[in-house]
Structure 1
């Protein structure tokens, strides 16, 4: 059975005790209690050790959205920015980041209450594949829809151009759930159509794998 419960404060406390200067990136707080638990653990640990530096980022996204924020943090640290500059630039990156996704199955989103049961059943019955995205508040919204997976993937690629700006400065992250061939196809088409600085492919992990389900694709940039 898939476990979708958020980690409690305990695992965060264990990690906070090991390090003094910490950045944490969580699943959107609108989709999970992970952010709240990370913040609760921060409050608890600062009562033990006031000198620890802990910054918790709400990704307002999921899966590869979190990956891309961590990737950005790594670039900023490597570039030698100080802590305040890193936080400011990362928060700006999160504010501008776009998240788009297409799922082969909506079952787990419906079970988790992220999509209405009736809408999900109608979409499945008519083989309608919604192109979904993250709102600025970190919730899920319908961006577009298409009949069948192939058309939905084409729409997904089109939406990159409609929603993205200054793509030559950005990295496109593609996450897949046991769908490497599909991810490679999107990478190739995106490279032909757009001028991303870099395109990376990762596998979904943790709770994101449950929601993405077999064949799911998530983009963030």
Structure 2
């Protein structure tokens, strides 16, 4: 049985990972006022942060239309896929999963499509997508992959240290971190995205203390199977990575620039970690 893996562009996987694991990515769109960009096409992650810094208004994102997923599902079926597992960013944060589900219904009877709510974002979603792709390459069935993802979903923990709450507030994704809005302007908010929504995890008085808090979450997790670090063009990312020290989960550590989809809502300067504790 041939199972193919599909995800969306919020996964923040590298081009090499996407190619090596034969993953198909359906892009979201990013808007700066009347100007619209397809994620990964015509707007790089680096270019996005430069544009956001120069823009008088914050950007917004839009989920792919169901037709974009439907086209991909049909193409994969034409290429010989017996089943497709489509792993998307948290349904609580985006309508992307709804679009994928609508497309799956449209191709029902033509190709077996399983749409999975990862409950994660950015590199947390990326960890799950790569796990699904590895399982597919090893010959796992769609049922087996979906079950593996359900178990992994409970193990992926995501924390972030934000430089600003402006983007989350404007985008309506602030969740329980709403309470942080009344804090002094100098407060650096820390959030927990493990559940698929933004939850308050703490607040630090300086950027350095926020980095230290985030590094402590990694240290306190103990031995790790996987660790992924991502950031929104954070100038102090090297200082954060140095604070992690040696980690058996991934050495040397891969550090990823957060793409426009998540960067739109997390804002510039965010640093995030996604980790899976060893069993």
User: Matched residue of 2:61: which SS?
Assistant: coil
What SS does the aligned partner of 2:172 have? Answer: coil
SS in 1 for 2:227: strand
Gap regions ≥5 residues in structure 2:
1-31, 33-58, 78-82
3-state SS, counterpart of residue 62 of structure 2 = coil
Identify the match of residue 97 of structure 1 among 153, 156, 167: 156
SS in 1 for 2:84: strand
What is aligned with 1:142? 200
State the 1:60 CA deviation.
0.9
Partner residue, 1:81: 140
Distance in 2 of aligned mates of 1:149 and 1:11: 40
Equivalent residues in 2 for 1:30-45, closer than 5 Å: 30-45=92-107
Q: 2:170 aligns with which of 108, 111, 117?
A: 111
CA distance in 1, matches of 2:70, 2:178: 41
Separation in 1 of the partners of 2:101 and 2:160? 28
- The aligned length equals 211
- C-alpha offsets along residues 175-221 of structure 1, whole Å, 9 cap, x if unaligned? 11112x533433343342x4314532222123201012111112111
After TM superposition, give the deviation of residue 25 of structure 1 in Å.
2.0
Distance (Å, rounded) in 1 between the aligned partners of 2:106 and 2:137: 30
Displacement, 1:165? 5.7
Instruction: List alignment gaps of at least 5 residues for structure 1.
Output: none
Corresponding residue of 1:14: 71
Shift of 1:151: 0.4
Corresponding residue to 1:132 among 161, 179, 191 = 191
2: CA distance, partners of 1:27 / 1:124: 31
Structure 2: how far apart are the matches of 1:91 and 1:174? 22
Relative to structure 1, the CA distance from residue 81 to residue 190 in structure 2 (aligned partners, 3 Å threshold; closer, same or farther) is farther
**Counterparts of 1:75 and 1:102, CA distance in 2:** 30
Give the conservation status (yes or no) of the 8 Å contact 1:171–1:200: no
Matched, 1:211 2:273: no
1:122 aligns with 2:182: yes
User: For the residues of structure 1 that align with 2:194 and 2:112, how far apart are their CA atoms?
Assistant: 29
Q: Give the TM-score taking structure 1 as reference length.
A: 0.84
Match of 1:182 among 236, 241, 244: 236
1:160 aligns with 2:218: yes
CA contact (8 A) 1:104 1:213 kept: yes
| TM-score computed with the length of structure 2 as normaliser | 0.68
Where does residue 196 of structure 1 map in the other structure?
Answer: 249
Shift of 1:75: 2.6
CA contact (8 A) 1:64 1:175 kept: yes
CA offset at residue 166 of structure 1? 4.5
Measured in 2, the distance between the counterparts of 1:70 and 1:158 equals 26
Offset of residue 133 of structure 1: 0.8
